[in-house]
A and B are shown apart, each in its own frame.
Chain A
Amino acid sequence: MPDGPLHRIRIKFPGDLEYIPAVRKYVSEILIVNRFTPKFAFRTEIIVDEICNNAVTYGCVSGDSSVEIACLIYEDRIEFQVKDAGGLKEDIARLREAVEAEVSAEKKTAGKPSAAGLGLEIVRLLSEEIDMEVDDNNLTSIRVVRRKEDSSKTGAAR
């Protein structure tokens, strides 16, 4: 049986945080409809939220910029690619550091209610693969793969 995606979804939205809840809930609903578990859908909703938040906050410096998210839904996994409109060099450097390095919650939240690194830390812990590319125009693309069989990955049981 070929390992092609069951669905391909492409969503483009204005670089404004207000659009993200609808996007993340839409992706979550699609997963539920495709018989992924509610827990998988919830964790995926978090991933979509965090990477879109980063894209809007740090990758949409001009007023008319937008974010594009492409989702490939397979039987056993979901792959995302989130592209923003280009950010500042220092933000991209911080983003790369957050994608590549592990940081503690305490360190990232110290003195600040929110930090991009904390969101990406969550994404990394909930996914199997995360990588980023930046082109010559500072357009940033983050790719995330999340597989079905990862319930033991975080060790979070309660």
Chain B
Amino acid sequence: MESQIELQYEDVQGKSNAKMVRFIGDLDATNVETVIEKTFNLLNEGFVNIVADFEKLRYVNSTGLGILLHFSKSAKEKGGSFKIANVNENVYEIIEIIGATSLLEIYDELDEAVESLG
């Protein structure tokens, strides 16, 4: 009965150490373990720059927010980054009210996030 979340991956042109990950569905306590495992697999395979596309992420709770902060910290520790783009209004509001907008790298558009990789 766990919430549905699907992660889709795409290469980032010209960036061999980067991946774009589309989050589709709801991110909550029932599926964080799966998302942690998949994301850490990417980081450990050398994709230390991750651009997360949240256009189709409908919902996130405090557990989900906790792991996003964790991904950001872990990517930085590996010399990379975890960037978020296309956040819908409801999800952005939850990130904002806990004061995490300054802790996460959030971009309006996917292109901006990719370009910021340098």
List residues of A whose CB falls within 8 A of some B CB.
17-22, 39, 42-43, 45-46, 49-50, 53, 104-106, 109, 112-115, 118-119, 121-122, 125-126, 154, 156, 158
Q: Is the interface of B mostly helix, strand, loop or mixed?
A: helix
Q: Is B93 an interface residue, CB under 8 A from the partner?
A: yes
A-B pairs with beta carbons under 8 A, tally:
87
A sample of 27 inter-chain contacts (CB < 8 A) reads A18-B30, A20-B28, A20-B29, A21-B28, A39-B90, A42-B59, A46-B61, A46-B94, A50-B61, A53-B29, A53-B61, A105-B65, A105-B100, A105-B103, A106-B103, A109-B65, A109-B66, A109-B69, A109-B103, A113-B70, A115-B66, A118-B66, A119-B63, A121-B62, A156-B93, A158-B89, A158-B92
Chain B residues whose CB sits within 8 angstroms of the CB of A22 once the complex forms: 1
Contacts A18-B30, A46-B61 supplied; 6 other A-B pairs, CB < 8 Å: A17-B29, A21-B1, A21-B3, A53-B29, A118-B66, A158-B96
Are A122 and B90 CB-contacts (below 8 A) given A22-B1, A158-B96? no
Q: Which of A17, A113, A122 contacts B97 (CB 8 A)?
A: A122
Query: Contact between B99 and A106 (Cβ–Cβ < 8 Å)?
Result: yes
List residues of B whose CB falls within 8 A of some A CB.
1-3, 26, 28-30, 32, 36, 59, 61-63, 65-67, 69-70, 89-90, 92-94, 96-100, 103
Query: Contact between B97 and A156 (Cβ–Cβ < 8 Å)?
Result: yes
A17 and B3 CA atoms in complex are apart in Å by: 10
